Structure 1
Amino acid sequence: MPPCRIALERRSTSNSRNPPRFSGAFALTIFDKVFNRDRSEGPLVLSTHEAFAAVAITAIAADGNVTDEEANRTALSLATLAAFRNQHLDEMGRVLDRVADLVQQRGASEVLKAVKATLSQGQAESAYFLAADLTLADGSFGVGERQFLQNLKDTLGIADAMALKIVEVVVIKNRS
């Protein structure tokens, strides 16, 4: 999976109601290096925020290409989840950056296994909805994206009937 680093920034400092915009930059700040422990080895434990961010990042990278539009849509989609309801945009950006590092260091498969260990079944279904929405939103649904959703369904333990319902709702949501 190609590296996927997302840095979140505000469009305007005067109005925090503006939707977030990603810069696509891939640099850690000095504070991230100081305050984030090295998680490249040992058991991987994610917070709920990190688990949802991991699903989002791996979903938008499933086709091997991350566009600015996909990165922006990721932040907007995460912001609508109950888990991120009171999250400041700057903190969301830091979570996305940390998770992008983890995916790059540990691989999507290992990170998604940690997602399964973190989320309840209901949260896993919400995460699957998030992934389906992000992969289907651009109107194209290639082999890589299909395989990703199948693997994610299996990894998260989503029942076939539930996965079908979720994808049907996402298709309806994204109709033009």
Structure 2
Amino acid sequence: MSILNKIFKGADEGRISLSTPEAFAAIAVSAISADGYMRDEERDRIVVLLSELPLFQGYSQQRLTNLLEKLFELLSVKGTYSLLAIAREFLPAELQEPAFVVVSDLLLVDGVLSAKEREFLTHLWQMLDVPADRASQIFEQKVEEYNLRTPQKK
């Protein structure tokens, strides 16, 4: 093996590659860790939401659980925003808006949207190129679904 092959092989070993389902799930995993806490409601809801998507249709409960555990381990090594950036690289354009919908749901499932979660959501819609008006519409729908109130402007 030439010296260049050794150098480039070493550089590639640290590179993370995700399948489309892994990328989608990684964005969801990043979201539920955005505030630094992982509530039971969020962990339960992520399994339900992902298992309902056509993207995960061939996944058994065990396979989905294994995928999520793998992503939680990657999250602990890389951190929330690094995992999000990696996932974004492998997420096709047609799944950007659905990812935002899932994240909006996950962030509201516990009935509280912390400042860190709000910051994460803003970062996400910009990263995913979801138009602001569409992102707002999606979020408002989720707020209504969970029967939550948004602060009124005076």
Change (3 A) 1:61 1:147: same
Gaps of 5+ in 1: 1-40
How far residue 42 of structure 1 moved from its aligned partner, in angstroms, is 2.5
Q: 2:93 aligns with which of 107, 110, 121?
A: 121
Q: 1:143 aligns with which of 94, 115, 120?
A: 115
Per the alignment, residue 85 of structure 1 pairs with: 57
Paired residues of 2:35 and 2:116 also in contact (CA < 8 A) = yes
Gaps of 5+ in 2: 1-12, 149-154
Matches of 2:138 and 2:61, distance apart in 1: 27
Q: Tell me the TM-score normalised to structure 1 length.
A: 0.71
**Dislocated runs of 4+, deviation >6 Å:** none
Change (3 A) 1:143 1:175: same
How far residue 64 of structure 1 moved from its aligned partner, in angstroms, is 1.6
Paired residues of 2:30 and 2:80 also in contact (CA < 8 A) = yes
Rg larger in 1 or in 2? Answer: 2
Comparing both structures, which one devotes a greater share of its residues to helix?
Answer: 2
Q: RMSD in angstroms over aligned alpha carbons?
A: 1.8
> Which one is further off, 143-152 or 159-168?
159-168
Paired residues of 1:112 and 1:155 also in contact (CA < 8 A) = no
Tell me the percent identity: 33
Matched, 1:63 2:46: no
Q: Which amino acid aligns with 1:58?
A: S
Q: Tell me the TM-score normalised to structure 2 length.
A: 0.81
Matches of 2:81 and 2:113, distance apart in 1: 21
